[in-house]
Amino acid sequence: MSLIVQKFGGSSVKDAERLKNVADIITKTYAAGNQVVVVVSAQGDTTDDFIEKAREVNLKPSRREMDVLLSAGEQISMALLAMTIESLGYPVVSLTGWQAGIQTSSHYSAAKIHRINTERLSMELDKKNIVIVAGFQGINKYDDITTLGRGGSDTTAVALAAALHADLCQIYTDVNGVYTTDPRICKGAKKLDDISYDEMLELASLGANVLHNRSVELAKKYNIKLEVLSSLTREPGTMVKEVEKVEKLLVRGVTKDNDVARISIVDIPDEPGNAFRIFATLAQHEINIDMILQSIGRDGKKDISFTVATAHMEEAVEALKTCPGIVAENISTRDDVSKVSIVGAGMVSHAGVASTMFEALYNSGINIHMICTSEIKVSVLIDRDKANLAVSAIHDQFRLEG
């Protein structure tokens, strides 16, 4: 007997038909002799509907009340899923975040899970119940409802798997697993049977919207075996786990991220402390920086370029204007760019990986604006209208097709 945590996203439970499909997956897992804990997101467009309703009465509602509102979404879907399972004749109970003992930080709308009191969960599992838990939510020390922010339901699933020492955590999505690149962009995209935590982390942060980074980090920390698979096709997905031997395939995937904007600060004095002041200012505004490029100083001047999420571009520019010595004329921005990356654990020890990527781009006539490398990835910033072409060209160059 294994303990399996299964997480289903909003599209997997969006209506009665999908709920029945999901209930079938869950009860088959249970009937095979497993203990099953299910984490469920709000149905389909519920969250967007709630946000719209809130806007009608308050353009800037408090995060506390927003969390109260949004958390009702999972409460609705968990009850409906439990009822669907009841109709199949299986024992089931649904639990909200607070009922499931999910204790979080006080930070409304972006709370972190501090600990999970598993008393109630264990009691329900001992009673042979299938346990449905509301994803994305918990309570803080004031007994107030919190939500975990983006990717929260994945995080709930992995945290529960860790707390309950689950044998497997399955993340059901609308794709079959993790691919070498986006199948919608490149027909030759191939599904990976397994991938390491670190590779998955790079892929997730690079815009492969399959698993949220927080959940992968947590899975790595507690060594939780993750499986990414489809609730529709029911085929084996991709296992995310500690991969022991270096794989033969150096490059595991090619990804594209459009949520990126470049900010350049040009012609500033080439003297110590400038970079520190710039990035300290941005940190104060809680703006995350991704790629950073600093030109070599010349004529006593230098340039610093970096990328941020597109939503933060305007705020970053305003913040930079408060830095001593930087005026509007020093700042230029571009938001018509994309980041294209290759990821693979074996990459660092093999020469020629980066140059193969650049060759593919050169052959397609694509200009590179910025380059950024890490142990297991190489990223380039290019014009957005060339991004899909770049992904296909790189995928072909590395012969990743299935």
**Of 3, 50, 149, 222, which lies in the binding site for its own copies, with binding defined by CB under 8 A?**
50
- Report the nearest approach of its own copies to the CB of residue 85 (Å): 9
CA 355, distance to chain mean position in Å, is 28
* CA–CA gap between residue 398 and residue 376 (Å, rounded): 15
What residue spans of 229-345 are helical by DSSP H?
A: 274-284, 313-320
From 50-58, 234-242, 303-311, 340-348, give the range in contact with its own copies by CB under 8 A: 50-58
Name the β-bridge partners of 133.
39, 95
Helix, strand, coil in percent for the chain, rounding step 5: 35, 25, 40
What would the two tokens of residue 263 be? Answer: 């900010």
CA-closest candidate to residue 34, choices 58, 1, 57, 71: 1
* CA–CA gap between residue 50 and residue 94 (Å, rounded): 22
From 15-23, 157-165, 226-234, 292-300, give the range in contact with its own copies by CB under 8 A: 15-23
* CA–CA gap between residue 135 and residue 158 (Å, rounded): 11
Q: Does 61 contact its own copies by CB under 8 A?
A: yes
Q: Does 66 contact its own copies by CB under 8 A?
A: yes
> What is the helix (H) or strand (E) element at residue 48, kind and residue range?
helix 46-57
Q: Does 230 contact its own copies by CB under 8 A?
A: no
* CA–CA gap between residue 11 and residue 288 (Å, rounded): 29
**Of 31, 32, 48, 65, which lies in the binding site for its own copies, with binding defined by CB under 8 A?**
65
**Of 120, 190, 191, 234, which lies in the binding site for its own copies, with binding defined by CB under 8 A?**
120
**Of 8, 98, 108, 179, which lies in the binding site for its own copies, with binding defined by CB under 8 A?**
98
What would the two tokens of residue 357 be? Answer: 């990527």
Q: What is the footprint of its own copies within residues 68-87 (CB under 8 A)?
A: 68-69, 71-72, 75-76, 78-80, 82-84, 86-87
> What is the helix (H) or strand (E) element at residue 5, kind and residue range?
strand 3-8
Q: Does 62 contact its own copies by CB under 8 A?
A: yes
Q: Does 51 contact its own copies by CB under 8 A?
A: no
Q: Does 346 contact its own copies by CB under 8 A?
A: no
- Report the nearest approach of its own copies to the CB of residue 141 (Å): 13
Residue 19 or 203: the one with the smaller Cβ distance to its own copies is 19
**Of 2, 32, 58, 165, which lies in the binding site for its own copies, with binding defined by CB under 8 A?**
58
- Report the nearest approach of its own copies to the CB of residue 302 (Å): 46
- Report the nearest approach of its own copies to the CB of residue 107 (Å): 17
Give the chain's length. Answer: 402
Judged by CB under 8 A, the number of residues near its own copies is 39
Tell me the backbone φ, ψ of residue 123, rounded to 5 degrees. Answer: -60, -45
Other CB atoms within a 10 A radius of the CB of residue 348 amount to 13
**Window 136-175: contact mask with its own copies (x via CB under 8 A):** -------xxx------------------------------
Q: Does 369 contact its own copies by CB under 8 A?
A: no
CA-closest candidate to residue 402, choices 192, 229, 176: 192
Q: Does 56 contact its own copies by CB under 8 A?
A: yes
What would the two tokens of residue 115 be? Answer: 């600990």
Residue 45 or 396: the one with the smaller Cβ distance to its own copies is 45
- Which regions of 162-295 does DSSP assign to beta strands (E)? 168-173, 194-195, 226-230, 238-240, 253-257, 261-269, 292-294
| Residues engaged in binding its own copies (CB under 8 A) | 15-16, 19-20, 50, 53-54, 56-59, 61-62, 64-66, 68-69, 71-72, 75-76, 78-80, 82-84, 86-87, 93-94, 96, 98-99, 120, 143-145
